[in-house]
């Protein structure tokens, strides 16, 4: 029988946290922002899809401030894998849930290319 510490570790390993950038910038800013590109609608779509289908155990989804890939946003990051998706639309949320989170197959067309600077 596992001890309490190993049970806690197992729980931590199962935890999935999705960050969806909803950052906004003032008009006239030199950088684009995910809020202007549909980041808030994307977060709302994820939340409504999970509400409809049920939240997987250990999953948390949060809106976030800038994730630094502003030119390619909206940006979504999924931990603990550290998968970065860019250019994500509300129409992609269902595929990310089904293919990535359910089947374990990241969506290749949405992966941040190596040329994207994550700082
Ligand atoms: S504003 Fe979304 S990544 Fe910077």
Domain with 103, as residue range(s), is 4-110
Answer whether 0.95 is exceeded by the pTM. Answer: no
CATH code at 51?
3.40.30.10
β-strand partners of 77: 19, 84
Q: Is residue 117 part of a domain?
A: no
Distance 2 CA to ligand 1 centre (A): 42
pLDDT per residue as tens digits for the range 11-43: 455 589 999 999 999 999 999 999 999 999 999
Q: Is residue 97 part of a domain?
A: yes
pLDDT per residue as tens digits for the range 51-94: 999 888 899 999 999 999 999 999 999 999 999 999 999 999 99
* Cα separation values, 74 from 15, 16, 23, 53, Å: 23, 19, 9, 23
> Does the C-beta of 68 come closer than 6 Å to ligand 1?
yes
Q: Is residue 115 part of a domain?
A: no
Q: Is residue 86 within 8 Å of residue 37, measured between CB atoms?
A: no
How far apart CA 8 and CA 32 sit, in angstroms, is 40
């Amino acid at each position: 029988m596992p001890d309490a510490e190993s049970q806690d570790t197992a729980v931590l390993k199962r935890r999935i946290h999705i960050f969806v950038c909803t950052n906004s910038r003032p008009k006239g800013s030199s950088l684009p922002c995910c809020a202007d590109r549909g980041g808030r609608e994307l977060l709302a779509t994820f939340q409504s899809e999970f509400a409809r289908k049920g939240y997987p155990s250990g999953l948390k989804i949060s809106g976030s401030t800038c994730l630094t890939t502003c030119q390619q946003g909206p940006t979504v990051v999924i931990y603990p894998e550290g998968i970065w998706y860019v250019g994500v639309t509300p129409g992609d949320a269902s595929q990310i849930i089904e293919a990535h989170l359910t089947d374990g197959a990241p969506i290749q067309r949405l992966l941040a290319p190596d040329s994207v600077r994550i700082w």
